[in-house]
Amino acid sequence: MVKMNFGQDNALRDASVPMVSVMRGEEADAAHQGIACLVDSGGKILWALGQPLVHAFFRSCAKPLQAMALLASGASDAAGLDDRDLAIICGSHAGGPDQIAQVAGILAKSGLNASALGCGGGLSDMCSGKHAGMLTACKRLDLPLGTYLQAEHPWQKRILAVIREYCRYEVPETARAVDGCSAPTHSLPVYNMAVGFARLAEEAESPGAAARLLGAMSAHPGGHTGEPDLRVFSSGAGTIVTKGGANGLLCAALPGLGMGFALKIADGAALPRWPVFTHALEQAGIITPSTAREMGAMLWPDISSRRGENAGRIRLDF
């Protein structure tokens, strides 16, 4: 594992490069910078912008790896969790009636209810699926339930071990903080986030936990979780499974190619993520220009007035 120490006060800003401008007329109304990289499962950088060894918090992009800990423990099988359950455990859901019922069902399979959740918003919290997965593990492994969000809890330590293993990075204790849902989140290089998703992608090419997990995410995407972060495309790249995180983070696994992608927008904006992602895959030769246009039509945000009139455009700056 690689262990590095970068001064972080200004590192993210200084390591970022121009990525996207939001244009109104012929002038830029906003400009966004960031860091991104595409790697193979061996850690080779295939494409990059900025300095990907700079750190960011993993936020909700860590959910698939957190779910891998659940699968590896055997607790998910013991609880009888199905693929729809796994998909919402990995998701940042919209809190609609279907999502609330799904999360309540996960808890019920282990004799739990919403009162056990520590995510702040109860069943409707966007991270309640992840928390239900954590509680499932604790219940089935006979670990304390009331303290499951504490960084020193055995289950949180197991999750950190999985992140360290897959991302090939010895995340230090000092790189830990509290996520928006009150669970621990960890800071690590953007490069190592991409490595983690590349290793998931590589493992998914053979039967096993990773194949099941990415398959569940692919089979039950946005319509199930209520988020637009899980997409499947018919292209030369095969299946593309993505996961978004707060403050401008986006990660992706490309199982057919054994590759992983990670992106951090320095100012935390969500708007640039899909334009950067699609253009990055095109620049790297992963998708064709026609597929990039197809993805762009589906994913790029519109710059429009509240009456629905076109009010501008997104300009790629790389």
Per-residue pLDDT of the chain (318 residues; tens, 9 = 90+): 544 444 455 899 999 999 999 999 999 999 999 999 999 999 999 999 999 999 999 999 999 999 999 999 999 999 999 999 999 999 999 899 999 999 999 999 999 999 999 999 999 999 999 999 999 999 999 999 999 999 999 999 999 999 999 999 999 988 999 999 999 999 999 999 999 999 999 999 999 999 999 999 988 876 566 565 555 565 566 788 999 999 999 999 999 899 999 999 999 999 999 999 999 999 999 999 998 998 898 889 999 999 999 999 999 999
The CA distance from 66 to 7, in Å, is: 27
- Residue 23 lies inside a defined structural domain of this protein: no
Residue of 283, 286, 279 whose CA lies nearest to 254: 286
CB-side exposure of 103: number of CA atoms within 13 Å? 35
- pLDDT tens digit string along 190-214? 999 999 999 999 999 999 999 999 9
Q: Which long-range contacts (CB under 8 A, 24 or more apart) does 150-155 make?
A: 151/176, 151/184, 155/69
The CA distance from 170 to 152, in Å, is: 17
Q: Which amino acid is at 48?
A: A
The CA distance from 32 to 268, in Å, is: 9
Number of domains observed in the structure of the chain: 1
Q: Which amino acid is at 63?
A: K
- Residue 51 lies inside a defined structural domain of this protein: yes
Predicted pLDDT at 9: 58
- Residue 104 lies inside a defined structural domain of this protein: yes
Q: Where are the alpha helices (DSSP H) in 204-313?
A: 209-219, 222-225, 273-283, 289-299
- Residue 318 lies inside a defined structural domain of this protein: no
- pLDDT tens digit string along 155-184? 999 999 999 999 999 999 889 999 999 999
- Residue 313 lies inside a defined structural domain of this protein: no
Q: Which domain holds residue 197?
A: 38-299
| 96 Cβ neighbours under 8 A, 6+ residues apart | 226
- Residue 192 lies inside a defined structural domain of this protein: yes
- pTM here is 0.93
- Residue 315 lies inside a defined structural domain of this protein: no
- Identify the CATH number of the domain in which residue 268 sits: 3.40.710
Q: Are 231 and 220 in contact (CB under 8 A)?
A: no
- Residue 64 lies inside a defined structural domain of this protein: yes
The label of the residue with tokens 């509680």 reads: 135
The CA distance from 65 to 167, in Å, is: 9
